[in-house]
Chains A and B, each alone.
Chain A
Amino acid sequence: MALTTAPGRTGRTGSARPHANRRRGGRDRHAEGLAGYVFLSPWLIGLMGVTAIPMLLSLWLSFTNYDILTPLSEVQWVGLANYERMFTADPSYWHAVRVTLTFALVAVPLKLAAALGVALLLNKAWRGVGLFRALFYLPSLLGGSVALAIVWVNMFNRDGAFNSFLALFGIEGLPWVSDPDWALQTLMVLAIWQFGAPMVIFLAGLKQVPTELYEAASVDGAGRFRQFWHVTLPMLSPVIFFNLVLETINGFQGFTAAFVLSNGTGGPVDSTLMYTLKLYISGFTDLEMGYASAMAWVFLIAIGLITVVFFSTGRFWVHYSDGEK
């Protein structure tokens, strides 16, 4: 790069000494290449030691009966036994899959709908918008904590705040968190409550929609609803896509609240047995680390597949205004 921009500023890069130039350029590039790896080295070590090698190790473990108590050298290869057990002999595994899918399929769309709805309300400029945006965002910062999960569980207890609220209307509530039919729903509400983070991203996306499009639509006689349908939604589709991918993958990984609600068991009656909680119980309570590794790999492949599905279907509904698909 120095060669192309330097002429006239240093004597070295004049046309009189092209060979010297080339040599120096080569050395620069070599130095830069080395520096690249120097700067990248912590990340590379992390990639190998903390990510890649553990991944391969867990792949191997998933074919073994490893528990943490026997030394690695005495581990027995069990072939596909862990996978077989998971798919055919462990009903609670399928339960966890169902709980996780239900959670993601219900909570994620509702959360995004709430995020988009509030973003649309906020989008019209006025003075209070900054304050509202901040207040709506606050739950996203706090909601993933153990503390908030504790609050949530108590709020939906038999004598929690939610039932007190229902009592105002003469409705007698249930002990939501200890009812197998309702416990997962309280976790969904907790997830939806954290709609602020995708909302902020929606707001930024809405700001990018050119005003002319609305004016043109208005001139053509499109009402508010049709403007939303034919202008806002298509223009926002890349942001919707982004939020959808992110929130779905996050949704699959919900752990803390389920752990707190069930005190680490996934109860009542496995109703909050999120996949990651099942994995934790297998690996760190039952100490069946081979089995847990098999679960982790299925999880990884499932998330990979879902991502691929998102990206391949995205072509059909994500609209990029510069014409790229």
Chain B
Amino acid sequence: MARVIFTANLKRHVECPVSTAPGGTVREVLDGVFAHNHVLRGYVLDEQGALRKHMGIIVDGIVLADRARLADPVRPDSTVYVLQALSGG
């Protein structure tokens, strides 16, 4: 299962421990995490399911390409970082 690590700056707003979830894409992995933490979803994705404008995701060192559908592939041993893109201030 992929490991998901959230920016520490999220912790003062919402619980976001390091998580593991199955899935072959970023979407599937994050859906697995958010299934147990629905509030967290709204901090990372907008209501259309796209990555928020000022957030970034890096999978095994590669920046997420598909910000709308999150279709980038994830391996079982991948590490997914959910980060603040500094464009947001």
* A and B together in one complex: no
Hey, which bits of chain B sit against chain A, CB under 8 A? none
